[in-house]
Structure 1
């Protein structure tokens, strides 16, 4: 959360002329409701089941940029689909920067509690090893603009293709 997936994804889409698909947006289209509502009605478990189906379908498409929610890596089937069907980019950001970027956003169900900073810290501890497990490219996001990060990703992707 707050790493810049949506913003950087849009810039990457412009730079590469590849369409950007956001798995959360796709879930919202299919349910006719926003992610917060899905969490409220179905809980995180229900949301994660929907997410798994969407990621399985989307990772079978070629020539797209796929942005997933930060918790997608918790599911082993998602990790397998992502890592075996595409190039995975981990936008690495600090918990402090995540908090700065998300503290006023009320549309993040996992942060709607009395200790969002503690939640972000816990989520990072759980998820970072999984991000590192699947990442082909790791880009630090705290010190750079979205455009600089997107350009780094394009360069690193080109390096991978040349290997």
Structure 2
């Protein structure tokens, strides 16, 4: 089984995913980190030079490779759900997809000093987050087995909620 974490930028996928993997005794992978290894640089620089469409092509290859069922916790990029093949790969049999949901206001507070997320640079970040949320929330819900609100939840509490939800779904630490 692969546990796939989806959600908006800044919702806690990487932070909680790392802790959840440690709790389960599984491997953790961040798809954005894998993409940066593949392109040999930062996503932001790649985005600036090659554009979003080219980035999404690489992301799709990486998601396809990483969603093969194994004992893995996978944190995906916020826009990974935009492509149907990614949603299908995430939701394939043997995977549990968890939507870590946070409001645009909570995300804006968390990301106010972040300069690495290409889609949030310049202009009004809160407005951009609201627009992205409107577009992506239905896709996160479509692909997810369950939703956990991360608003102002601490990381240990979030990991406990994830663990309990996965246990109720039939996953034990020994699975």
Tell me if both proteins adopt one fold, taking TM over 0.5 as the criterion: yes
1: CA distance between counterparts of 2:81 and 2:122? Answer: 22
1:159 matched to 2:168? The reply is yes
Retained in 2: the 8 A contact 1:18–1:65?
A: yes
For residues 33 and 61 of structure 1, the distance between their equivalents in structure 2, rounded to whole angstroms, comes to 28
What is the aligned-residue RMSD (CA, Å)? 1.0
2:126 counterpart (108, 114, 117): 117
- For 2:139 and 2:80, how far apart are their aligned partners in 1? 10
What is the distance in 1 between the residues matched to 2:122 and 2:98?
A: 29
The Cα of 1:120 is off from its aligned counterpart by: 0.4
Q: Which residue of 2 aligns with 1:18?
A: 26
**Runs of at least 4 residues off by over 3 Å:** none
Q: What's the counterpart of residue 71 of structure 2?
A: 63
- Relative to total residues, which structure has the larger helix share, 1 or 2? 1
**3-state SS, counterpart of residue 157 of structure 1:** helix
Unaligned runs of 5+ in 1: none
- Is the contact between residue 137 and residue 153 of structure 1 (CA under 8 Å) also seen in structure 2? no
The Cα shift of 1:119 comes to 0.6
Aligned residues: 162
Moved more, 111-120 or 126-135: 111-120
Match of 1:93 in 2: 102
Distance 1:61 1:38 in 2: 29
> Deviations along 1:54-81, whole A, 9 cap, x unmatched?
0000111411000000100010000000
Task: State the 1:132 CA deviation.
Answer: 0.4
Name structure 2 gaps, 5 residues minimum: 1-8
With a CA cutoff of 8 Å and minimum separation of 6, indicate the structure with the bigger relative contact order.
Answer: 2
**Counterpart in 1 of 2:5?**
none
**1:35-54 alignment, distance < 5 Å:** 35-54=43-62
Shift of 1:143: 3.2
Q: Give the Cα–Cα distance (whole angstroms) in 2 for the partners of residues 27 and 89 of structure 1.
A: 21
The TM-score, its normalising length taken from structure 1, stands at: 0.96
Secondary structure of the corresponding residue to residue 169 of structure 2: helix
Offset of residue 113 of structure 1: 1.6
CA–CA separation in structure 2 for the residues paired with 1:104 and 1:145: 19
Secondary structure at the aligned position of 1:87 is classed as strand
